[in-house]
């Protein structure tokens, strides 16, 4: 018995895709292995670590908890879509490098997407709001100190433009 | 960056980052998109005999390619995995098979593997394999292991894998004769490295050349390579191991070979297909490795001033179901427990015990957090007993700077004498006291108490043996483009090695960071190496690379001196140009020097014409001198006599909630001495991450095994790994830089430091806040609440007695 396939059409980082996937194909696997956008990482596959966070119509969502078929017709932004088309890093990405907000880099895509959406909603966060903004993402390397600093720095250099579409 | 200025010690931004920030990282599961996938059927029981494995139900799953059980293995593959670090006091070393043979000893032990077109299908098939078991009684936890009513391994009496004693002087006599004596019983529970990326392996077998190429998320590429070659019966030269980007290690990925690191290559060779295994989170909890669980009994004798006259420690170490990593963790506990102190006599004895739980191997800190916990609880107990300030008792027992190098008279984890190379403990303590406001604390605490708040200040000191041998190597090559290629064999898991090592080379060679490329953990580039553990990468590979760069520099100057018709001593290298000092314009680019270093017959491009036979060379001499080699490169190894010893002291101020017993962190202060700082920003990042793991081990993380050996919290939902809300808002850091005399750059290593005093410093602070001594870590609010109740009840009972 081979698996039944379903049509799905969606936009990822501005490019339209049409694909046939099994109903159980996770969005994270679809992005990583079907579209080969491997910048989105999977740290827990149960919705807790936030490493797999992507923006779906601008809203941060955990791609390990979504089925690919369920994002029919929607716009997905992954970490690959955060820099400008000419490769210029977004304010959040630059702030991460300036503040040493990453070590192994495995959690980073999830933080970048989360913060990108967070700063769009609140372009001038206080330190408490910055901590809250990243409160649902796990990082084992940095102790979060420099990630919080990067949120504040991104707000400073971004001038409200967090990048990513 | 100014031309000619130094990169060493500069907090430059990491060269790794642009790639990692744009989704360009290549972690294990990002590779091998064409590979078929392997899933593992794991034991659901902690202790059982395997009666039968029936794979017939799995055979029709579409996309199935192969199923392997123990019976399919032969030769070295069918033998137990190696005991990596043998030690004379191991009386019963047991290691697991790559696939269980007859018996399973922990929930999660691999029983069968399935290879299918993708992971979904492989798991479908694995689910259909039926295994019948005869259940055996499990041994869970140290108390059960020590009682030994049940045995983990039938032939291992008392569950004892090893019994070990070390001593200097006669501690028992010294304690008996001491004016004051105390005894303490202490315990620390299990935790684990828990990198955000689990384990993973990809292998490709090249049928044409009969060669194997393996990528694995490891802390030792060379170790895995040797192990795979041995197990698969291949020449070392036919196996290449490449470490891709690794999403954190913290110790767990130093273990090798994991069963999957052997099974994936085996399947790749058998099937002639690329095969990949990517561990999921639950698998990481139940089938990788944990650490930390120990029970301690401390006896101490001291004089009226609090000087340690005799110290005797017995402890029991939970090594889990098998002993692949030998006794490294408990040996480190037994030696590093001494920290900055010098007891007049010391005896330590431990037993390493089997339990039916996941294996125990180093997790960042590697046995030190437990040792420091035991020592620092003892220091606080002495201070309380004598009514002396806690910092003062410690200071009185410090090894003094003028006593360095200090020989403890013990043998360390590397089999060499425990000799501290450097450190200034009194200065470190002074800095910490100033940073945290130690002298102002009593007044602050009294004021807080008066307003009904419970606040406590904790202090903990540690010494960390880092940079253990045997060696690492470095290779530096200047290409004809002027670019510099650097390689070393050990691996990276986020420590910024590419940046730090480039900083070293940039200074040694006078080239820009942007012209340097560093490769780590690729056996094709550097086949001799040990691995990344014990905070050794900067010390070992940093030193080796510095030496290799110096060798390359000597050759650059030699070749350039010839070309510029100047003496080598009169040359300098600035911004990629070799020039005669004080003679502007008389210069030659590094790339051209590289061209000239390799006498050519054939010109492959415009630049290379300069090195052809009618262009250069003295016709009366051989083109390559007898003691020389073509090319512009340097290679060297660094192999120290002994470990270097970093040290530090932490202080934390906590507030415990009078009603809920929750612990809030008000301030966290670190003073740290890791010798020369290559990149202060990276070092601070290491401390931040370590402190977060220290907080985790003190207040949150534990492995909740039930009595049947099921891990109840094997997910990020239930294992309380800290989010940002659990870590202090600020970590205040001050550095000391006492150089190590043992290596060319004076480095001492920084990777593990932040985590080491975690349990100790929180226990000290909570004890200070509560007025009773904390003896078991981690501590949850409900446990603290219960302790309060007990202490209140005891006090009330005492009050009613006449
Ligand atoms: S992988 Fe999706 S939340 Fe962890
Ligand atoms: S940088 Fe490694 S997990 Fe966050």
Rounded CA-CA distance B262/B256 in Å is: 9
Whether pLDDT at B613 is above 80: no
Rounded CA-CA distance B31/B33 in Å is: 6
- What CATH number does the domain containing B528 carry? 3.30.365.10
- What CATH number does the domain containing B241 carry? 3.90.1170.50
Is it true that domain A5-81 has CATH number 3.10.20.30?
yes
Token pair in block for residue B472: 């690492």
| B403-416 b/e (C-beta count within 10 Å ≥ 16 → b) | ebebebebebbbee
Domain membership flag for residue B572: yes
Residue of B nearest to A164 (CA): B22
Q: What is the pLDDT of residue B4?
A: 45
Residues B662 and B761 in one domain: yes
Task: Say if ligand 1 is within 6 A of residue A99 CB.
Answer: no
End-to-end CA distance of chain B: 76
Domain membership flag for residue B802: no
Domain membership flag for residue B129: yes
User: Which of B591, B611, B638 is the last residue before a domain boundary?
Assistant: B638
| Structural domain that includes position B126 | 31-136+193-287
Confidence of residue B1 (pLDDT cuts 50, 70, 90): very low
Token pair in block for residue B385: 């007993």
Residues B729 and B770 in one domain: yes
| Alpha carbon of A2: minimum distance to chain B alpha carbons (Å) | 6
Q: What is the pLDDT of residue B802?
A: 53
Complex ipTM > 0.85: yes
Mean residue pLDDT across chain B: 94
Domain membership flag for residue B4: no
Q: Count CA within 13 A, CB hemisphere, residue B770.
A: 28
What is the DSSP annotation of B634-645? EEEEE--SS-EE
Residues B454 and B569 in one domain: no
Which of B25, B33, B729 lies nearest to residue A105, judging by beta carbons?
B25
DSSP assigned state of B401: G
In this complex, do A100 and B682 lie within 8 Å of one another by their Cβ atoms? yes
Which of A41, A49, A93 lies nearest to residue B21, judging by beta carbons?
A93
Residue partners of B547: CB distance under 8 A and separation at least 6: B474, B634, B636, B637, B638, B744
- The ligand minimizing its distance to the Cα of B247 is 2
B733 CA → ligand 2 middle, Å: 21
Give the SS3 label for residue A19. strand
Q: What is the pLDDT of residue B2?
A: 39
Cis before B778? omega within 30 = yes
In this complex, do B21 and A145 lie within 8 Å of one another by their Cβ atoms? no
Beta bridge partners of B48: B104, B135
Residue partners of B76: CB distance under 8 A and separation at least 6: B230, B231, B232, B233
Residues B702 and B687 in one domain: yes
Domain membership flag for residue B308: no
How far, CA to CA in Å, does B62 sit from each of A2, A33, B274, B666? 6, 19, 19, 58
Q: Which of B695, B678, B502, B17 is nearest to A102 (CA)?
A: B17
Whether the CB-CB separation of B591 and B481 falls below 8 Å is answered with yes
Q: What is the pLDDT of residue A162?
A: 52
Residues B668 and B792 in one domain: yes
* φ, ψ for residue B97, nearest 5 deg: -85, 160
Torsion angle, CA of B22/B27/B30/B32, rounded to 10 degrees?
140
Q: Which of B176-185, B519-528, B556-565 has the highest mean pLDDT?
A: B176-185
In this complex, do A38 and B23 lie within 8 Å of one another by their Cβ atoms? yes
- Residue A44: list chain B partners with CB under 8 A: 281, 715-716
Mean pLDDT confidence for B606-617? 76
Residues B235 and B259 in one domain: yes
- Residue A62: list chain B partners with CB under 8 A: none
Token pair in block for residue B745: 């750059």
Torsion angle, CA of B767/B770/B772/B777, rounded to 10 degrees?
-50
Q: Which of B735, B736, B739 is nearest to B644 (CA)?
A: B739
Nearest CA to ligand 1 atom 3: A47
Whether the CB-CB separation of B264 and B275 falls below 8 Å is answered with yes
Residues B484 and B624 in one domain: yes
Q: Which of B570, B623, B569, B618 is nearest to B597 (CA)?
A: B623
DSSP assigned state of B185: E
Where are chain A's structural domains?
A: 5-81, 91-157
Residues B509 and B585 in one domain: yes
Rounded CA-CA distance A111/B145 in Å is: 43
Rounded CA-CA distance B25/B628 in Å is: 39
What angle do the packed helices A145-158 and A108-121 form, to 10 degrees?
A: 40
- The ligand minimizing its distance to the Cα of A41 is 1
Mean pLDDT confidence for B483-498? 89
- The ligand minimizing its distance to the Cα of B248 is 2
Residues B573 and B686 in one domain: no
Whether the CB-CB separation of B275 and B37 falls below 8 Å is answered with yes
Residues B691 and B585 in one domain: no
Confidence of residue B674 (pLDDT cuts 50, 70, 90): confident
Determine what percent of chain B is predicted with pLDDT higher than 90.
80
H helix or E strand, kind and range, residue A157: helix A145-158
pLDDT tens for B402-418 read: 999 999 999 888 888 99
Q: Which of B72, B41, B63 is nearest to B273 (CA)?
A: B63
Domain membership flag for residue B301: no
Q: Which of B36, B404, B348 is nearest to B201 (CA)?
A: B36
Whether pLDDT at B28 is above 70: yes
3-state secondary structure string across B305-324: CCCEEEEEEEEEEEEECCCC
Q: Which of B343, B348, B350, B438 is nearest to B390 (CA)?
A: B438
Q: What is the pLDDT of residue B738?
A: 86
Q: What is the pLDDT of residue B539?
A: 84
Ligand 1 pocket test: pick from A31, A39, A51 the residue with the most ligand atoms within 8 Å of its Cβ: A51
- Residue B724: list chain A partners with CB under 8 A: 131, 134-135, 137, 144, 147-148
Residue partners of B597: CB distance under 8 A and separation at least 6: B555, B559, B630, B631, B632
Q: What is the pLDDT of residue B153?
A: 98
User: Which of B234, B269, B287 is the last residue before a domain boundary?
Assistant: B287
Q: What is the pLDDT of residue A159?
A: 62
Which of B281, B690, B730 lies nearest to residue A44, judging by beta carbons?
B281
Q: Which of B727, B668, B650 is nearest to A144 (CA)?
A: B727
In this complex, do B20 and A89 lie within 8 Å of one another by their Cβ atoms? no
Which of A25, A41, A144 lies nearest to residue B692, judging by beta carbons?
A144
B171 CA → ligand 2 middle, Å: 45
Q: What is the pLDDT of residue B617?
A: 74
Whether pLDDT at B285 is above 70: yes
Whether the CB-CB separation of B315 and B130 falls below 8 Å is answered with no
Strands B454-466 and B644-656: antiparallel
Residue partners of B737: CB distance under 8 A and separation at least 6: B673, B674, B675, B676, B677, B746
Q: Count CA within 13 A, CB hemisphere, residue B125.
A: 28
**Angle at CA B494, nearest 5°, toward B493 and B498?**
100
Determine what percent of chain B is predicted with pLDDT higher than 70.
99
Token pair in block for residue A132: 């809250």
Residues B607 and B517 in one domain: yes
In this complex, do B247 and A104 lie within 8 Å of one another by their Cβ atoms? yes
User: Which of B257, B287, B317 is the last residue before a domain boundary?
Assistant: B287
Rounded CA-CA distance A158/A92 in Å is: 7
- Residue A42: list chain B partners with CB under 8 A: 29
Q: What is the pTM of this model?
A: 0.94
Q: What is the pLDDT of residue B3?
A: 42
Ligand 2 pocket test: pick from A96, A97, A103 the residue with the most ligand atoms within 8 Å of its Cβ: A103
Mean pLDDT confidence for B73-94? 96
How far, CA to CA in Å, does B280 sit from each of B2, B255, B468? 47, 18, 32
Ligand 2, pocket residues at CB < 6 Å: A 102-108, 139-142; B 196, 248, 494
Residues of chain A with pLDDT under 70: 1, 159-165
DSSP assigned state of A31: I
Confidence of residue B5 (pLDDT cuts 50, 70, 90): low
Q: How many domains does chain B have?
A: 3
Residue partners of B353: CB distance under 8 A and separation at least 6: B142, B145, B146, B158, B159, B160, B161, B316, B317, B318, B319
| B718-752 b/e (C-beta count within 10 Å ≥ 16 → b) | ebbbbbbeebbbebebbbbebbbebbbbbbbbbbb
Mean pLDDT confidence for B346-364? 97
Number of H helices and number of E strands within chain A? 5, 5
pLDDT tens for B631-673 read: 999 999 999 888 889 999 999 999 999 999 999 999 999 999 9
Whether the CB-CB separation of B49 and B236 falls below 8 Å is answered with no
Residues B654 and B753 in one domain: yes
A141 CA → ligand 2 middle, Å: 4
Stretch among B164-173, B356-365, B503-512 having the lowest mean pLDDT:
B503-512
CATH superfamily of this structure's domain A91-157: [2Fe-2S]-binding domain (1.10.150.120)
How far, CA to CA in Å, does A159 sit from each of A87, A122, B18, B20? 19, 11, 21, 24
């Amino acid at each position: 018995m081979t698996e039944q396939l379903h049509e799905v059409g969606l936009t990822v980082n501005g490019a339209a895709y049409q694909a046939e996937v099994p109903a159980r194909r996770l969005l994270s696997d679809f992005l990583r292995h079907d579209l080969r956008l491997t910048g989105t990482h999977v740290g827990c596959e149960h919705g807790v670590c936030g490493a797999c966070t992507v923006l779906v119509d601008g809203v941060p969502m955990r791609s390990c908890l979504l089925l690919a078929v369920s994002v029919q017709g929607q716009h997905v932004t992954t970490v690959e879509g955060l820099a400008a088309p000419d490769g210029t890093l977004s304010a959040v990405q630059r702030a991460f490098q300036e503040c040493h907000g990453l070590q192994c880099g495995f959690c980073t895509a999830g933080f970048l997407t989360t913060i990108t959406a967070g700063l769009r909603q609140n372009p001038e966060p206080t330190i408490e709001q910055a901590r809250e903004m990243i409160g649902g993402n796990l990082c084992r390397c940095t102790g979060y100190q420099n990630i919080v600093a990067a949120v504040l720095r991104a707000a400073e250099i971004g001038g409200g433009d967090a990048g990513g579409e | 960056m100014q031309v000619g200025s130094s990169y060493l010690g500069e907090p430059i931004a990491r060269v790794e980052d642009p790639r990692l920030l744009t989704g360009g990282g290549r972690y294990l599961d990002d590779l091998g998109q064409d590979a078929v996938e392997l899933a593992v059927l794991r034991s659901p029981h902690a202790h059982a005999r395997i009666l039968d494995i029936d794979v017939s139900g799995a055979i029709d799953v579409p996309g199935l390619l192969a199923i392997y059980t123990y019976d399919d293995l032969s030769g070295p593959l069918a033998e137990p995995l190696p005991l990596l670090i043998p030690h004379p006091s191991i009386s019963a070393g047991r290691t697991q098979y790559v696939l269980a043979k007859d018996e399973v000893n922990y929930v999660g032990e691999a029983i069968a593997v399935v290879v299918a077109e993708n992971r979904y299908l492989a798991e479908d098939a694995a689910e259909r394999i039926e295994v019948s078991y005869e259940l055996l009684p499990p041994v869970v936890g140290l108390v059960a292991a020590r009682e030994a009513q049940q045995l983990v391994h039938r032939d291992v009496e008392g569950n004892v894998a090893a019994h070990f004693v070390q001593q200097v002087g006669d501690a028992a006599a010294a304690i008996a004769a001491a004016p004051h004596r105390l005894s303490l019983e202490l315990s620390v529970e299990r935790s684990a490295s828990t990198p955000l990326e689990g384990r993973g392996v990809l292998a490709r077998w090249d049928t044409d050349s009969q060669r194997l190429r393996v990528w694995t998320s490891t802390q030792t590429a060379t170790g895995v390579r040797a192990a795979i070659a041995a197990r698969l019966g291949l020449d070392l030269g036919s196996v290449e191991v490449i470490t891709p980007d690794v999403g954190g290690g913290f110790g767990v990925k130093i273990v090798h070979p994991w069963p999957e690191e052997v099974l994936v290559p085996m399947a790749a060779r058998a099937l002639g297909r690329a095969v990949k295994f990517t561990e999921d989170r639950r698998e990481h909890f139940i089938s990788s490795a944990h650490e930390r669980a120990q029970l301690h009994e401390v006896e101490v004798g001291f004089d009226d001033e609090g000087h340690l006259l005799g110290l005797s420690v017995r402890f029991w170490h939970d090594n889990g179901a098998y002993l692949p990593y030998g006794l490294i963790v408990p040996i480190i506990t037994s030696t590093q427990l001494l920290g900055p102190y010098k007891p007049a006599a010391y005896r330590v004895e431990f037993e390493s015990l089997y339990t039916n739980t996941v294996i125990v191997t180093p997790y960042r800190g590697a046995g030190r957090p437990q040792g420091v916990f035991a020592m620092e609880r003892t220091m606080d107990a002495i201070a309380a007993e004598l009514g002396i300030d806690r910092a003062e008792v410690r200071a009185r027992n410090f090894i003094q700077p003028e006593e360095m190098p200090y020989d403890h008279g013990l043998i360390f984890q590397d089999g060499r004498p425990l000799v501290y190379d450097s450190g200034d403990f009194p200065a470190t303590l002074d800095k910490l006291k100033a940073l945290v406001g130690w002298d102002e604390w009593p007044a602050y605490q009294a004021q807080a108490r008066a307003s009904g708040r419970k606040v406590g200040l904790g202090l903990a000191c540690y010494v960390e043996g880092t940079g253990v041998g045997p060696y690492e190597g470095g290779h530096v090559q200047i290409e004809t483009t002027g670019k510099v290629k650097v390689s070393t064999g050990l691996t990276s898991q986020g420590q910024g090695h590419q940046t730090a090592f480039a900083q070293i080379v940039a200074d040694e060679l006078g080239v820009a960071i942007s012209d340097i490329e560093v490769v780590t953990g690729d056996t094709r580039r550097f086949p001799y190496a040990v691995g990344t553990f014990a905070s050794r990468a900067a010390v070992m590979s940093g030193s080796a690379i510095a030496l290799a760069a110096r060798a390359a520099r000597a050759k650059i100057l030699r070749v350039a001196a010839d070309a510029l018709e100047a003496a080598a001593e009169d040359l300098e290298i600035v911004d990629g140009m070799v020039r005669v000092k004080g003679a502007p314009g008389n210069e030659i680019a590094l790339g051209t020097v590289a061209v000239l270093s390799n006498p050519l017959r054939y010109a492959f491009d415009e630049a290379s014409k300069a090195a052809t036979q009618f262009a250069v060379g003295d016709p009366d001499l051989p083109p390559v001198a007898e003691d020389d080699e073509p090319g512009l490169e340097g290679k060297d190894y660094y192999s120290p006599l002994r470990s270097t010893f970093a040290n530090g002291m932490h202080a934390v101020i906590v507030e415990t909630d009078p009603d809920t017993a929750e612990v809030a962190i008000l301030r966290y202060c670190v003073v740290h001495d890791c010798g020369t700082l290559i990149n202060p920003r990276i070092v601070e990042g290491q401390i931040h991450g370590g402190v977060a793991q220290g907080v985790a081990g003190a207040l949150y993380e534990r492995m909740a095994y039930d009595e049947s050996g099921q891990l109840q919290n094997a997910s990020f939902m239930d294992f309380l790994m800290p989010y940002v809300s659990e870590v202090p808002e600020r970590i205040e850091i001050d550095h000391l830089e006492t150089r190590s005399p043992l290596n060319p750059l004076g480095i001492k290593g920084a990777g593990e430091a932040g985590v080491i005093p975690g349990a100790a410093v929180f226990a000290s602070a909570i004890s200070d806040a509560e007025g009773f001594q904390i003896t078991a870590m981690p501590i949850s609010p409900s446990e603290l609440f219960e302790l309060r109740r007990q202490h209140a009840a005891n006090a009330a009972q005492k009050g009613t007695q006449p």
